[in-house]
Amino acid sequence: MHNAKRIKRYLEIIPGAISWGIIIVLILLSIFKPVACAISIIVFDFYWIIRTIYLSTLLVLAHRKLFKEKNKDWLSECQGLDVKKDWSKLYHLIIFPVYKEGIGVLRPSLEALRNSRYPKEKMIVVVAFEERYAHAQANARILETEFKTSFFGYLSTFHPDKAPGETRTKGANATWAAKQAREFLDRKAIAYEDVIISCFDADTCVDREYFGCLTYHFLTQPKPHQASYQPMPVYNNNIWHAPSFARIVEISASFCQMIDSMRLEKFVTFSSHSMSFKTLVEIDYWPVDMVSDDSVIYWKAFLFYKGDYRVVPLYITVSMDVAYSSNLFKTIALQYRQKRRWAWGIENFPFLINGFSHNKDIPLLIKARRSFQLLESHIMWAIWAVIVILIGPLPILLGGAFFNQMAIGYNLPRITGLLFNFTLATSLAFIILSRAILPPRPKDVSWFKNIVMLVEWIIVPVIILILGSTPALDAQTRLMLAKYIEFNPTEKGRKVV
Amino acid sequence: MSGEQKIRAFLFYLGVLIFFIGLRFILPSALGYKFNMRTFRFTKAGLIALKTQPQGASIYLNEVLLNEKTPATINELLPGEYNLKLELENHYPWSAQVSVEAGKVSRLEKIILFPIRPNIKQLNKEKISSFWLDKEKDKVYYISQEEQTLYKSDLEGNDFVVAGTLAQMRPLPIKWKISPDKEKLLSFNPHQIVVVNLRSSHKPYLTESPLVLDVANHKITDIFWHSDSYHLILVTDSNIEVQEATLQSVPVNLVNLNKKSISASYDENKDILYFIDNQKAADGKFYDNLFKLELGTKFSFIKPRANEP
């Protein structure tokens, strides 16, 4: 095996090995050294309580900011900027990488663009189809008929299947589309530094003020080309119609993103986001062989700019679909696969370490800190629910009579129970905050659904059990065993009203 | 740094501080240590875990009334002996000398506080000589030998009614036994078996009730119900035989016994009869042995005993 490949394999093994190592060591400790295991669990539980309080506070702060900036007239803000910061010369290039998503999903996304409060003559839309999808051409024709004249530019691109060096990923399609758009910009003689590119999931419906907000932040940043711009993803498109299980999972995902937006030093792009087109070209577009293109693009830019690259949070929402299916079990499976794909972001770890090893300009401290942050967040994701729910009771069950007559044996279930109850109590804050980001109730939805949406939070323990750690542990195990996953777009169950 | 980031940094460092300071107290406390406010040191202590039935008892530790009531955990106790007393109104107090060891929990979690005036209540409304409980159906059956009547009521003694008439037996029955399906009652004396049908509609086994079966040749010492609630296993002074609970039944001799009076036990779930009988050994002497006789519907015949006819 080539040396670089061997090192990459070792790096792929590390996250899974650490997560499984922690779990196995704790299980063995619970059998042979139950007191040591109990101490470890109590320390972890206490850490988790403090972490939960800390993160919940950040969530409240992020919410506060989101509401402070809600309904702000961002275009007026742009117009009020210094003349040197001429917003009118900027173009917005919006790419929708599409695979099997139908017209019913794409049309609202394009309509949202058309309805946005930003000049359409400054917008170039690219709907990036996969050539291998049988209905791609037909869908493209329908959408072109409806939207082609609405924007300054409108392109339908068709990404050829199995291009050399590519895997079937969203990044490969987006890169193909960006290159086509680049030719369009060249033809129109538009400078790359005057273009902001937004790569949106097919179901992304932007807020009316999104492009004004993005433009304002782009123009007011010290190094605007050395930043990605991350809106707050909410899953409001079909949230009133989605089943409770899926709704809570997606609301929690929005919350995670909002919390991360407050932790700027570890904030990484996720899902739909925007950046300078000039930067995108310079860093050679999205990766064409990695599933988690949305976060890898950040790391590529981070390495390219020698660590001087950041993500600017935009406290404005982009709305997507809650992923759900025809019945509960299919919905759980769907959600599980989606979360596993997100957890597959751990593939960034070997990429980042490899990038750091070839980059002598980034200070070692930054390298160590960013590597640790990436690794720690994924490992915590993979083990926290396992420790809280499964390993917590093990010393009592496996520790034998001697452990059970120890004071710590008596106190352990009380402390772990307290932690679990505390974690549930934070759901109260989540309930209140979730109401705040909820769109108005559609007319076809009964008022009673308001009650359901309050009561449904009692299923949080079930969700923690199913989706707490297992998708992340699954993803890390697959990476460890070189059982790579391919990008499969999540089925969206939107009810078109 | 923006206002939010300042708040965030403050919260982060505050969290780190609370984690390390809090851990300094939580871990020793979990391990059973007690913090001495005077010396600012931890001393290894133990605890007592208390659970009572019923709950809510007052706790006296070394004659001092504690604020808590059961169930409770008395923490941070220095190792040693403690006088523990639990009191609950209208219940007998409970007390004990409890030993507390460092780092350990003394679990007293099965304490029952008995009421001072137990709720004693007479259930029968007529003279009775025996009874049995049908817990599945929440019924009590009463036997009045004097009046040869079977009564029944619920578990509170309500709905006390006549459930059937018993046959005349002379001498009086030795034992009463209810069938596994709880629908028949048998009583027997050494030469007579009476089976009473507790369900008037019971068909097809018992066509008349009570059913009286005479056993003239042997002296019955015990009878067991087969799990089908239809066959009876009779242990007599000379053999073990099985017969149906019908008038037409012809007994089948299963085992001849050497002993006149044997002790036997019947496993109703597996239909196995265990009994002791003596048997001649190689030295010509007789010794007691325990035998197992399978009587289930799936018979797997065991090896016959030596000298068995």
- Residue type (1 letter), A183: E
Domain with B56 in it: what CATH number? Answer: 2.60.40.1120
Class of residue A301 by CB neighbours under 10 A (exposed 0-12, middle 13-18, buried 19+): buried
Query: Domain containing B206 — which CATH number?
Result: 2.130.10.10
Q: Are A368 and B65 in contact (CB under 8 A)?
A: no
Chain B residues whose CB is inside 8 A of the A47 CB are 19
CB proximity A53 to B under 8 Å: yes
Q: What are phi and psi of B187, to 5 degrees?
A: -135, 150
Q: State chain B's mean pLDDT as an integer.
A: 85
CATH topology of domain A72-345: Spore Coat Polysaccharide Biosynthesis Protein SpsA; Chain A (3.90.550)
Residue B193 falls inside a structural domain: yes
Contact yes or no for A47 and B105 at CB 8 A = no
Note whether B21 and B45 are within 8 A (CB): no
Q: Which strand (E) or helix (H) includes residue A54?
A: helix A34-68
Confidence of residue B36 (pLDDT cuts 50, 70, 90): confident
Is B175 in the same domain as B77? Answer: no
* d(C-alpha A103, C-alpha A141), whole Å: 11
DSSP letters spanning B251-306: -EEEEE-SSSS--EEEETTTTEEEEEEEEE-TTS-EEEEEEEEE-SSS--PPPPPT
The pLDDT value given to residue A493:
54
Is a pLDDT exceeding 90 seen at residue B175?
no
Task: Kindly state whether residues B67 and B151 are assigned to the same domain.
Answer: no
Q: Which amino acid is at A444?
A: D
User: Residue A271 region, left (φ>0) first, then alpha (ψ -120 to 50), else beta?
Assistant: left
> From A61, which residue of chain B is nearest by alpha-carbon distance?
B4
* Same domain, yes or no: B63 and B159: no
Estimate the crossing angle of helix A244-261 against helix A407-436, to 10 degrees. Answer: 90
Domain spans in chain A, listed from the N-terminal domain onward: 3-65+367-480, 72-345
B305, pLDDT greater than 70: no
Residue A262's Cβ-count burial label (10 Å; 0-12, 13-18, 19+) is buried
Gap between the terminal Cα atoms of chain A: 55
Instruction: Mark A105-133 as b/e (b = at least 16 C-beta within 10 Å).
Output: bbbbbbebbeebebebebbbbbbbbbbeb
List, as one string, the DSSP characters of A386-415: IIIIIITTHHHHHSHHHHHTBHHHHHHHHH
Question: B199 and B286: one domain?
Answer: yes
B242 shares its domain with B275: yes
The number of folded domains in chain B is 4
Q: Write the ipTM.
A: 0.82
Q: What digits encode the pLDDT tens for the residues A403-446?
A: 888 889 888 888 878 777 877 777 788 888 888 888 888 888 88
Bond before B204 cis per omega within 30 degrees: yes
Give the per-residue pLDDT at A456.
Answer: 86
My answer on whether B233 and B247 are in the same domain is: yes
Q: Output the furthest CA–CA distance in chain A (Å, rounded).
A: 80
Tell whether B268 is covered by a domain: yes
Residue of B nearest to A42 (CA): B27
Q: Which domain holds residue B128?
A: 124-166
Residue B303 falls within a domain, yes or no?
no
Asked if the structure places residue B64 within a domain, the reply is yes
Instruction: Give CA separation, B242 vs A394, A463, B167, B219, B254, in Å.
Output: 53, 60, 22, 14, 7
Taking 70 as the pLDDT cut, the residues of chain A under it are 1, 487-497
Judged by DSSP in three states, B163 sits in: strand
Q: In terms of domains, do B14 and B67 share one? A: no
> For residue A480, what are its two tokens?
């460890």
The 10 Å Cβ neighbour count of residue B163 is 19
Q: Summarize pLDDT for B245-292 with one digit per residue, the tens.
A: 888 888 889 999 998 888 899 998 899 999 999 888 888 888 889 999
B301 in a structural domain: no
First and final CA of chain B: distance in angstroms? 104
Share of chain B above pLDDT 70, in %: 91
With a threshold of 0.95, does the pTM exceed it?
no
Contacts (Cβ under 8 Å, ≥6 apart) of A59: A255, A258, A259, A429, A433
Contacts for A373 with CB less than 8 Å, ≥ 6 apart: A265, A266
Q: Any chain B CB within 8 A of the CB of A66? A: no
Q: What share of chain B is helix, strand, coil (3-state, %, to 5)?
A: 10, 45, 45
Measure in Å the smallest separation between the Cα of B66 and chain A Cα atoms.
20
For position A487, what pLDDT does the model report? Answer: 62
Query: How confident is the model over B56-62, as a mean pLDDT?
Result: 95
For an interface test with B, give the residue of A411, A414, A418, A422 to mutate (most B CBs within 10 A): A411
Residues B70 and B12 in one domain: no
Any domain includes B39: no
Amino acid at A436: A
Q: Is the pLDDT of residue B15 over 90?
A: yes
Contacts of A411 in chain B (CB under 8 A): 29-30, 32
Same domain for B162 and B173? no
Q: What is the Cα–Cα distance from A343 to A476, expressed in whole angstroms?
A: 8
> What local confidence, expressed as pLDDT, does residue A105 receive?
92
Residue B300: band (very low, low, confident or very high) from pLDDT cuts 50, 70, 90: very low
Whether residues B61 and B25 share a domain: the answer is: no
Query: Is residue A377 within 8 Å of A263, Cβ to Cβ?
Result: no
